[in-house]
Every structure is written in C-alpha cells, then in structure tokens.
Amino acid sequence: METVPELDIWADPAERKVFRRLMGEKGSVNSFEITLRTKQGNIVPCLISGRTIEIEGVSHIISVVADISQIRLGEAELRRAKEFVEIVFNSMHDAMAIINVDGLVIVDAK
C-alpha cells in the first residue's frame, strides 16, 4: 500500500499541508479547493471534504474529492460572455438598458 505522498496526486504540496493543518485544527474540512494530478499527469481542479475518524484507536482521514473542472470551464465561459456583452453595450452610441421582469434596471448605458 502506498502513502499519499508516494501516490504523488497533489499537484501543489502546499495545498496538502494546509488541508492537513485544517483537518488537525477542526477535525473536518468541507469543500476545500485543491489541484490534483491524474495518472495521466493532467492537473485537475477539485473540491475535497474530509473528516477525521478513529479505527481501532488509530486516527485516519476519510475524504471525498469532486472534480470541478467543468464548473471552472463554465465560469470562464460565463466571464467571457459577460465581457463581450459589456464591450458591445459600452460601445453603443444610443441609450440602452437591460431591465428585469420587475422593472429594475440592471445595466444602463447612456
């Protein structure tokens, strides 16, 4: 059986140190953002949650990791779309507004 450092899955060893420190201080950590390395060597953004448990008097960390790469890609696409809309909106010479269904002006270019 390999140890976590031997698996070499933590892309940034400093993140592992912070996670372990938080686990030691709190006994559990929820949704801590990290970057892990796959077997193929790809770097993947993830969220890790963990809890310290005791088995036969020995402390262990049980954790769950979720790949959030698709979420990050979606966020980047949303940022690009927002920047595009702002460029178009700000380049207009005519008055234009975006108003929600309640009549609240969200963006106003004059």
pLDDT tens digit sequence for 50-104: 999 999 999 999 999 999 999 999 999 999 999 998 888 788 777 777 777 887 7
Does 72 reside within a domain?
A: no
Query: What is the end-to-end Cα distance of the chain in Å, rounded?
Result: 66
Q: Are residues 50 and 86 in the same domain?
A: no
Mean pLDDT across the chain: 89
Query: ∠ CA 5-9-10 to the nearest 5 degrees?
Result: 80
> Do residues 63 and 93 both lie within one domain?
no
Pairing relationship of beta strands 28-37 and 43-55 according to DSSP bridges? antiparallel
| Cα dihedral 69/73/78/84 (nearest 10) | 160
Show the domain range for 100. 81-109
Question: Do 44 and 86 belong to one domain?
Answer: no
What's the rounded Cα separation, in Å, for the pair 36 and 38?
Answer: 7
- Whether 37 shows a pLDDT value over 90: the answer reads yes
Residue written as token pair 């004059």: 110
